[in-house]
Amino acid sequence: MTVVSLTKTAGPAVGGALFSWSQKRQDAGFLPGNQMVFFILNLVEALGVILTSKPFLTQRAP
């Protein structure tokens, strides 16, 4: 099984779990439902930006 297949199956499962968890937290005092979803999406986006910076990219051998 390839990594692509694993991420294609894990993505919707994690997304569904996140949305069901956020529906339970609609009246929470800290990061209520919708704010929590967008906060986690921003964390994932920030991780993607950090991992595409120059120190993490592969370098060609000279």
pLDDT at 47: 93
pLDDT at 51: 85
pLDDT at 23: 92
Q: What are the sequence ranges of the domains in the chain?
A: 3-56
Q: Are 11 and 18 in contact (CB under 8 A)?
A: no
- State the CB neighbour count (10 A cutoff) for residue 55: 7
Residue 5 burial class via C-beta count within 10 angstroms: exposed 0-12, middle 13-18, buried 19 and up: exposed
Q: What are the pLDDT tens digits along the chain (62 aa)?
A: 788 898 899 989 999 999 999 999 999 889 898 999 999 999 999 998 988 888 877 777 77
pLDDT at 59: 75
φ, ψ at 30 (rounded to 5°): -115, 125
- Give the separation between CA 1 and CA 26, rounded to whole angstroms: 38
